[in-house]
Amino acid sequence: MSLERPDTTDDAAIERTPDELEALLGDLVVARDDHLNAPGFVIRPDTVQETLRTLKQQAGYDHLSVVSAQEYENRYESIYHLKKYDDPTQEVSVVVPADKDHPVSESAEPVFRTADWHEREAYDLIGVEYEGHPDLRRILLPETWQGHPLSMDYDKDRPQIATLPEHANPLEDHHKDEESDTMFLNIGPHHPATHGVLHLKTVLDGEQVVDVEPDIGYLHRSEEQMAQSGTYRHQIMPYPDRWDYISAGLLNEWAYARAAEDLADIEVPEYAQVIRTMGAEMCRIAAHMLALATFALDINGDFTATFMYAINDRERVQNLLEDLTGQRLMFNYFRLGGVVWDLPEDREAFFSDTRDFLDHLPESVEEYHNLITSNEIFQMRTIDTGILPPEVAKNYGATGPVARGSGVDYDLRRDDPYGYYDELDWDVVTEDGCDNFSRLLVRMREVEESAKIIEQCVDLLEDWPEDERNIQANVPRTLRPDDDAEIYRAVEGAKGELGIYIRSDGTDKPARFKIRSPCFSNLQTLPEMANGEYIPDVIAALGSLDVVLGEVDR
């Protein structure tokens, strides 16, 4: 795949050359540090807000994908990866070096709301301090943790202490004053409606939510450290399966594969791209089925019909994926440069099984519409609750079905094409309701679009000439990308933009591996949707966000 961006001039987003951008920023730019995916401008640590505001307001870079921080021998560095919602192929990186002894840098939170959590994470794991940040504390590790684990002098063997403060009496301590009757309520980290180990610190006034604060990090299992200690060629690929573990394995593997292939300049054979596209969309169906199942569980209650129906359909698609990859959940099927093996023998049986599944799918979707979306109680709980206006969604860096449910037409499969998507006939689904119901509808309609994609892939694969079935490019046994090459690449995962930032240092392992998790940004929007609503709406909003904690915490 080429690294050059197509020259599209949308009237909403005028594309500027790197030199024009440099001229726009003027004196703010200290030096250039271009990345493989985007021009990079080095700025002084006290001009972060000014630079980002100029880029956002005058050049239209309205999407802060991720903030990735790292430590060098002589400095700390934070990188702000900016994009445009209208055209994500237009990217720019803002590089902010900070002093080695006192790593202080200006916070970007007043310009991009999403920088709040991203900077807290950078502070937690790397140790960069952000001046002007509203609430700079640890986000993933316990507050009493010693040291910053991804900094250079961290000692992994030192003892640590974690606290369990939740036994305090919440009723007494959280009264605002004599008159008020607000009450502090913990939801989670062990709770059936939090979809894993999420902890919501909720303050209630009567039955209404005054404030809800997600407390994450209960599944922070050092994924970035794991990737940084693995070799590019084989040792990293098993881990992406475990980020978003709702069966979205192939989508995650693609995120790593895309970044590493572009970094090492590997061309993937077309046949492998078709197989990848087909497998990835099967994963998307499985992931959306579980989102639907658990959402219905949250709204309708106990282990009821919809859950069992959706799990039944998931079993079907998991069987197909098992035939293809050999595993039910953790596929480890992609390799850099292709996939590990061809379609299973006998091919005809696999194709007919897949077609059976696709034939059955419209009937199932109809059934779900009968069971839930046309259910009056369900509609009362979801329509016009958990409102997320499009501007707010953009400010928080929301992507995927959450953004598309708010009418933000952003899908990397179409806007920043990879794989075989641009050759196929399918549509990006958006809904304008901005509420819980819209987000669910987007997922259900996306399942149908995925089915269309799979069907076209099966047609292509069936007719593929036997002697052109090339499943893997020639990739050197040991990959050593150029020293100090940096790249940020994203794919459309089941939950949104799943991006990987890699910096190589000339060895066979990445020097910095940063995961941009869509759920991390999406979960940040929860207080916007929940504050002022009733407590059941918090549960509905959380369910409609469809976060998976493995990906939030990494």
Partner 1 sequence: MSSDQPFITDESQVVTETRDARMTGQGDRFNSRLREAFGSSPFILTKFDKFLNWCRGSSMFMLQFGIACCSIEMMHTYAVKHDLDRFGSGVPRASPRQADVMIVPGTIVSKFAPRMKRVYDQMPEPKFVVGMGSCTISGGPFQEGYNVIKGAEEVIPIDIHVPGCPPRPEALVYGVVKLQERVANGEAAPVTVKPYELEEFSDLERDELVDKLTDQIDDDELVMRYNFADSP
Binding site for partner 1 (CB under 8 A): 140-146, 149, 154, 156-167, 189-192, 195-197, 217-223, 225-226, 229, 238-239, 242, 245-247, 290, 302-303, 307-308, 311-312, 314-315, 328-330, 549-550
The residue (of 152 and 383) whose beta carbon lies closer to partner 1 is: 152
d(CA 488, CA 83): 11
Joined tokens for residue 16: 């500027």
* Nearest distance, CB of residue 268 and partner 1, angstroms: 26
- DSSP H helices, 369-405, are 376-382, 390-395, 400-404
d(CA 506, CA 504): 6
The residue (of 30 and 311) whose beta carbon lies closer to partner 1 is: 311
| Max Cα-Cα span within the chain | 80
The residue (of 55 and 310) whose beta carbon lies closer to partner 1 is: 310
* Nearest distance, CB of residue 78 and partner 1, angstroms: 21
* Nearest distance, CB of residue 197 and partner 1, angstroms: 6
* Nearest distance, CB of residue 229 and partner 1, angstroms: 7
* Nearest distance, CB of residue 49 and partner 1, angstroms: 31
For residue 338, the SS3 value is: strand
* Nearest distance, CB of residue 368 and partner 1, angstroms: 15
For residue 24, the SS3 value is: helix
The residue (of 195 and 439) whose beta carbon lies closer to partner 1 is: 195
d(CA 394, CA 154): 36
The residue (of 39 and 196) whose beta carbon lies closer to partner 1 is: 196
The residue (of 69 and 429) whose beta carbon lies closer to partner 1 is: 69
| C-alpha dist (Å) from residue 338 to 261, 272, 466 | 10, 5, 17
Residue 540 burial (CB < 10 Å; 0-12/13-18/19+)? buried
d(CA 148, CA 164): 21
For residue 513, the SS3 value is: strand
Closest-CA residue to 294 (of 392, 198, 166): 198
d(CA 416, CA 410): 10
The residue (of 239 and 378) whose beta carbon lies closer to partner 1 is: 239
Q: Using the structure block, give the residue that is written with the tokens 């590089």.
A: 95
Residues 533, 386 contacting (CB under 8 angstroms) = yes
The residue (of 124 and 411) whose beta carbon lies closer to partner 1 is: 124
Residue 87 burial (CB < 10 Å; 0-12/13-18/19+)? buried
Joined tokens for residue 136: 């700079």
The residue (of 221 and 347) whose beta carbon lies closer to partner 1 is: 221
| N-term to C-term CA, the chain | 28
* Nearest distance, CB of residue 158 and partner 1, angstroms: 7
For residue 484, the SS3 value is: strand
Q: Residue 522 belongs to what H/E stretch?
A: helix 518-524
* Nearest distance, CB of residue 242 and partner 1, angstroms: 6
* Nearest distance, CB of residue 326 and partner 1, angstroms: 12
* Nearest distance, CB of residue 217 and partner 1, angstroms: 5
Joined tokens for residue 126: 């790397």
The residue (of 327 and 375) whose beta carbon lies closer to partner 1 is: 327
